[in-house]
Amino acid sequence: MFNSSDEQARQPAGIVERLARDDVDRKRFLKMAGSAGAASFGAFVLAACGSSSSSKSAGTAAAPASTATTASSTAGDLGILNYALTLEYLETDFYSNVVASGLFKGKVGSLIKTFGAQEATHVEALKGAVEKLGGTPAVKPASKFPITSATQVAQLAYTVENLGAAAYLGQAAKIQNAEVLASALAIHTVEARHAATLGTLVKKSVTPQGAFATPADMSTVLAAVKPFLA
């Protein structure tokens, strides 16, 4: 006879649920997520993606996952990493074009350069993460962004950064590897902070969806960025 409680016991815990209830995983997550600086973050992403969700903890060897499960999880995470990489390519190109336009000077110009440099760091970290998982990084797409005025560009930057934050949030629950999830969240929070800062610049809400951000699925995000693909 089917027993729902028995079935639930056989199901593997989700990554977010496991982090919430497993003290060892949570401490490990918080320790790595607290790493500071671009160099530390890059090393963190590469190291994280070099280990699987069945890694050893506190001297106790975890039971090895089946080959099929591991392969499936890796394939899923690789797809998400390359999806994120494609978005970061576009963001990096956008900021590069904005800096080259010379539309922003002084403190705002410096801020735009900083944001662009951080997006470029995300690109390198994600490429390394894909390679560590045995995959091939996505090819950088050709881009085209309308760069007409400082006001128009600032509004577009606000839109792009909010879209990026929503894209990472939309994939978080699908990531299988806890360390890959930690890496994605480390980028997500920076995208959200970029968006909030730009919100003050264009006099728009720093929390456009209120108390809870709205995730965006892959098809929605890819449709939104299509106009920026050359």
pLDDT in tens, 7-45: 344 433 444 444 445 555 445 544 443 433 333 334 334
Tell me, rounded to whole angstroms, the distance of Cα 135 from its chain centroid: 17
From the CB of residue 172, how many other CB atoms can be counted at a distance below 10 Å? 15
Structure confidence at residue 169 as a pLDDT band (50, 70, 90): very high
**Rounded Cα distance, 176 and 40, in Å:** 23
> Which of 1.25.40.80, 3.40.50.720, 1.20.1260.10, 1.10.1740.10 is the CATH number of 20-50+65-228?
1.20.1260.10
Residues 6+ apart with CB under 8 A from 14: 173
Q: Quote the pTM value.
A: 0.71
